[in-house]
Structure 1
Amino acid sequence: MKGSSHAVIGVTAGAIAGYQVQPDLFTVAVSSIVGGVSALVPDLDTNGVASNKITISKNVSQWLMRLVGAGIFIAIAYQFLTTGFTPSILLYGGIGLLLFIASRFITQRRMLTLTGIMVIWLGIVMHQSTGILLAGIYIAIASFLPHRSYTHSLLGLAFYAFILHQLQQEWLIDGILVAGICGYASHLVADMKLLPMNRRGVKLFAPLWNKEW
């Protein structure tokens, strides 16, 4: 199923869940957004639709790495001409060289890993937000998983529900937990082999049971 279809189903599921929690416009609106986003989260795994949406293009990343590396080398040359050789030149020179080397081997999958690491760092910076920290861990782990594996299972749903629980406690916004669970679950249901448009199903009980449903 296409990402747009998952999003529409997730928005609907989130809106209904939010209305059940608190029948006011703000709660329903927030729950709709949470449901729509949550419906795309399972596809953060490798080759999933959502994984390419939240990461910077590989070509852009390579260009940025080379640009920063060149900037470091220019700064080193200026420092050498003005103050002479210092031990820091070797350190920064190594960093610049590493950026140039990494730019040749970076892949879109590793860009997703870096995105997860950045979110983890954001969680630490933002008053050590446990919810954001766990979200970064989820993204980083998903970057190493094959498509329709653990993110498409009840284990993935449980981990995501724990993240939502932490975020709801930190942000004090009603409906986040229920709407997010409904949105995520809607993705699993929509990808099940029981539906005629799906040739593949989902391994709901992985890793305990790898049968596709």
Structure 2
Amino acid sequence: MKGSSHALIGITAGAFAGYQVQPDLYTIAIASAVGGVSALVPDLDTNGLASNRITVSKQITQWLMQLVGAGILVAIIYQYFTKGFNPSILLYAGIGLLFFIVSRFITQRRMLTLTGVMVMWLGIVMHQSIGILFVGSYIVIASFLSHRSYTHSFLGLAFYAFILNQLQQESQIDVLLIAGIAGYASHLIADMKIFPMNRRGVKWFAPIWNKEW
């Protein structure tokens, strides 16, 4: 199923969930947005529809990493000729060289991993937000998973619900948990084999039971 279809179903599911909590326009609007975003989250796994949408392209990242590496090396050369040799130069030279090496071997899949790491770092910077930290960890874990595996199971749903609960406590948005669960679950239901547009199903009980539904 296309990402736009998942998002639309998630928006509908989130709006319905929000209405059950508080039938006012503001709550329903927030719940709709949360449901729509959450409906795309399961596809953050490798080759998922959403995984390439939240990452910078590999070419841009390679260029930026090489630029940073070159900048470090230029700064080292300048320091050497102006202030002489210092043992710390070797450390910084190694860092600059590492940027060049990593830029040559980085793949689009690992771009998702780097995105998750950056989100985790953001969680630490933002007053040590545990919720944001777990969002980043979800992205990192998803970047190593094959498509329609654990993110498309009760295990993935439970982990996402845990993250939502933490974010709800931090943000005081009461509808966050129920709308997010509704949106995420709508994706798993929409991907089931009972619908003719799906060639594959969903392994609801992975890793305990890998039958596709």
Question: Counterpart in 2 of 1:162?
Answer: 162
1:150-180 alpha-carbon deviations (Å, 9 max, x no partner): 0000110000001001111110012110100
Aligned position for 1:37 = 37
What does 1:5-154 correspond to in 2, within 5 Å?
5-154=5-154
Q: Match for residue 182 of structure 1?
A: 182
Note the alpha carbon deviations across 1:40-82, whole angstroms, 9 max, x for none: 0000000011111111111110000000011111111111111
The answer for the alignment partner of 1:193 in structure 2 is: 193
Instruction: Report the alpha carbon displacement of residue 16 of structure 1 after superposing the two structures with TM.
Output: 1.1
The separation in 2 between residues aligned to 1:62 and 1:136, in whole angstroms, is 22
Aligned residue number for residue 205 of structure 1: 205
The TM-score, its normalising length taken from structure 2, stands at 0.98
Greater shift after overlay, 182-191 or 15-24?
A: 15-24
| Unmatched 5+ stretches in structure 1 | none
- Give the share of equivalent positions with the same residue, in percent: 78
Counterpart residue type for residue 143 of structure 1? S
Q: CA deviation at 1:25?
A: 1.6
Shift of 1:132: 0.9
What one-letter code is carried by the residue in structure 2 that aligns with 1:181?
I
- Does the 8 Å CA contact 1:22/1:174 hold for their aligned counterparts? no
Query: SS of the counterpart of 1:195?
Result: coil
Paired with 1:61 and 1:122, the residues of 2 have a C-alpha distance of: 19
- The alignment partner of 1:53 has SS state of coil
Moved more, 20-29 or 54-63: 20-29
Aligned counterparts of 1:5 and 1:63: Cα–Cα separation in 2: 35
Aligned length: 213
TM-superposed CA distance for 1:20, in Å, is 1.1
TM-score by length of 1: 0.98
Instruction: Give, in whole Å, the separation in 1 of the partners of 2:109 and 2:121.
Output: 19
Aligned-pair Cα RMSD in Å:
0.8
Tell me if structure 2 keeps the 8 A contact 1:39–1:185.
Answer: yes
Question: Which segments of 5 or more consecutive residues in structure 2 lack a partner in the other structure?
Answer: none
